[in-house]
Structure 1
Amino acid sequence: MKSSKTISILSTAFAAAAWFCAVGENALAHSRSVGGSDTGLDIPEISHGEMAVISDYRGEIVGLASRATDTNELFRRVLNYAEIQYSYCLWGRMPGSVSDEESPFNECAHAYLAAAKAVLLEMREMPREAVAANEIISAVDADMVRRSLALITCRFSGEAFNTADVVKPRWSKVPFHPASMASLTGLAALFALVTFALGRFLRPKAQSSE
């Protein structure tokens, strides 16, 4: 009996993961058309090696930028884009999203990390944030040299971005990327298990109230 329930939960989880990918793929057609690139700000590309290090400092960079007071509209738009892209990329939680160029989440990771890099470089010119920003830049440079990442590239390394274009994950590729599929299936399984447990917990109360 327990094994059949387990199979049922896993089947539901797999179906939920597949549905999630299908819905995401349906939205992908609109992923690069938020207002049109002519209305946004250009963001320079980031190399595969750079993003591997910038990802370690993303929280510190965004935290410093969020506390900045002497800012302008352009700076805030790039910062906002970095945050939006981060959420679209599932907050960097998918395995291999930064390190694996075959990951369906790698391109969107390039986008939010390129924006974070742009924000960091802009803060070098801000009187109050310059010292902290330069300390982060020095740490990033040192890590790049120590890890020999300066010349590491991938197919997205030459891609520039724009604040008017949201880059979403390549959902159609998820079923063919084992790490991503396993992660999404695991989340779906957890959701299915919680739903099942809540149903079992609430059902007796509903019956007794009758």
Structure 2
Amino acid sequence: MARGGRCAIAGRWLGVIMALASLFTVVPVRAHHPRPSDGTLVGLAIPAIGHGEMQVVARHRSDILDLAARQARTDATLRRLMGFVSLQHFACWWGLVPGSLTDEASPFNECAHADMAGIRALLAHLSTMPGAQSAASALEARIAADIAADPAFAALCSNSSETFDSGVVIGPEWRLLPLHAPTVLTGLFLLALAAGGAWLLSRCLPPANRPASSGTR
């Protein structure tokens, strides 16, 4: 591959890595609207989801989103839930941090609960919509069967009783970061990749212009 092509690829990868690394500082614990202290909903109520159930719902996430995207006729509830799960998935780093779904101690576990609870609420709403009822009901039955087949999927955690609000996007709980080694290692890995990408990109840049030597004094 030509040097210019390698440099362009290095530049693109560095941009992606830096964007991911920057999320450690730009995603707050509670993004967008703060939750009212009196419990008033900002958006739609989203029921809680069990710790083990999240893993099953996550398996069918793409199927549920595809079904929602195929709806020719939408309503305000569908659009609001679609917007919530999109923002929530971003706030959770797209589920890429190890332990987000499975580790209660992860800074990303609460936001993963919100993400999966939103997906399940979206499926529940699809099951009431003309044109989606049959497919949505089939997905709900498949999820229920998977949960019933393995007692581990009935596990609960401290976040399993939390209900959510489609108007409140939940970010990572950074106070838990120093105590969660996988998240710390993920952050260090991203920073190391960013440093390596910056070094590689610097090798692609032309040297600084220097005054030509006259050869005589």
Q: Give the TM-score normalised by structure 2.
A: 0.79
What per-residue deviation string (whole Å, max 9, x for no partner) do you get for residues 55-101 of structure 1?
11111111211221222101210121011100000001110000111
Higher Cα radius of gyration: 2
| Unaligned residue ranges in structure 1 (runs of 5+) | 1-15
| Aligned equivalent of 1:191 | 194
Letter in 2 for 1:85: Q
The number of residue pairs the alignment matches comes to 191
Counterpart Cα distance in 1 of 2:77 and 2:154: 30
Letter in 1 for 2:131: R
Contact 1:31 1:166 in 2 (8 A): yes
Tell me the SS of whatever aligns to 1:128. Answer: coil
What per-residue deviation string (whole Å, max 9, x for no partner) do you get for residues 33-71 of structure 1?
358553311111111121111011111111211221222
| Aligned equivalent of 2:69 | 66
Residue 46 of structure 2 is aligned to residue 43 of structure 1: yes
Counterpart Cα distance in 2 of 1:175 and 1:154: 20
How does 1:55-134 map onto structure 2 within 5 Å? 55-134=58-137
How does 1:136-147 map onto structure 2 within 5 Å? 136-147=139-150
Identity level (%) = 34
| Aligned equivalent of 1:161 | 164
| Aligned equivalent of 2:31 | 31
| Aligned equivalent of 2:13 | none
Contact 1:97 1:104 in 2 (8 A): yes
Shift of 1:32: 6.7
Tell me the SS of whatever aligns to 1:38. Answer: coil
Counterpart Cα distance in 1 of 2:135 and 2:156: 28
Counterpart Cα distance in 1 of 2:195 and 2:158: 37
Q: RMSD in angstroms over aligned alpha carbons?
A: 2.6
Counterpart Cα distance in 2 of 1:20 and 1:133: 34
Shift of 1:135: 1.8
Shift of 1:189: 0.8
What per-residue deviation string (whole Å, max 9, x for no partner) do you get for residues 109-136 of structure 1?
0001101000101111222111211221
Contact 2:71 2:132 in 1 (8 A): yes
